[in-house]
Structure 1
């Protein structure tokens, strides 16, 4: 995790940022966690999350992970019990071991999300909509090559935050 702030500070920052179009989100993105005390903080990093890929508005890969011996692979989010994973004790120890073992079951070559423009907190911006989870990731522009992501997961009291940096 590269940044640490409260949820209130992250929301205030999010609200100051400009919007981003669907077209601007196309491409490959490297992800970084933002520690706000959310129950998911550290889980993506422990699972060797690399970032996201958007090949088109209808072909998104929300969970791109590093392989155990290099390379990258995509995970099907429909197969991940998010709350159970987050509740595991010593997730930072278990995930690096479990992910390579579960890779054949969890991986996919098919897109599992899409991009649409949605209104959130008063602004219309690109949003990644998961195909099989009640999750929307709303994006706001930090600069020309990075965005702040806010994961709006139905049932969560507070959003989860992350940063995406465009890859060349």
Structure 2
């Protein structure tokens, strides 16, 4: 999803595949692919893992992924049974008033 946000190219550069939700207390936020296509959790780039919380964002309660090692929140809204809209929020995340938005589709 093209937003013009300054971090828009970073997922492709990291070969980002998605996120893995094991439980509310254990989320791997940056699942990437290595040069052979094998998926791995890029915990170093993510600065750890994450957990899920219910957090109000713009007047609505959202399932929100809270990163363990950085002041970043990913708010999620369900589009359909297999698709989530993600909005990244947190300290120094806004880019000229724009949030970084992304789509997650169930594998």
- Asked if TM exceeds 0.5, the reply is yes
Which one has the bigger helix percentage?
Answer: 1
Within the candidate set 43, 47, 67, 2:10 is matched to: 43
Contact 1:150 1:159 in 2 (8 A): yes
Task: Considering fraction of residues, name the structure with more strand.
Answer: 2
Unaligned runs of 5+ in 2: none
| Alpha-carbon offset, residue 47 of structure 1 | 1.5
Residue pair 2:86, 2:102 contacting (<8 A) in 1 also: yes
Q: Do the aligned partners of 1:153 and 1:159 also contact (CA within 8 Å) in 2? A: no
TM, length-normalised to structure 2: 0.90
Q: Distance in 1 between matches of 2:25 and 2:12?
A: 26
Equivalent in 86, 100, 105 of residue 160 of structure 1: 100
When Rg is computed on C-alpha atoms for both structures, the one with the higher figure is 1
Alpha-carbon offset, residue 155 of structure 1: 2.0
Higher relative contact order (CA 8 A, sep 6+): 1
CA RMSD of aligned residues (A): 1.2
| Superposition misfits of 4+ residues, deviation over 4 angstroms | none
State which of 148, 161, 165 in structure 1 corresponds to 2:85.
148
- What secondary structure, in the 3-state scheme, does the structure 1 residue paired with 2:6 have? coil
Structure 1 segments unaligned to the other structure (5+ residues): 1-33, 79-110
Matched residues in 2 for 1:139 and 1:145: separation?
Answer: 13
Are 1:130 and 2:82 matched, yes or no?
Answer: no
Number of corresponding residues: 102
* Inter-partner Cα distance in structure 2 for 1:62 and 1:153: 15
Out of 8, 26, 49, the position equivalent to 1:59 is 26
Paired with 1:69 and 1:46, the residues of 2 have a C-alpha distance of 15
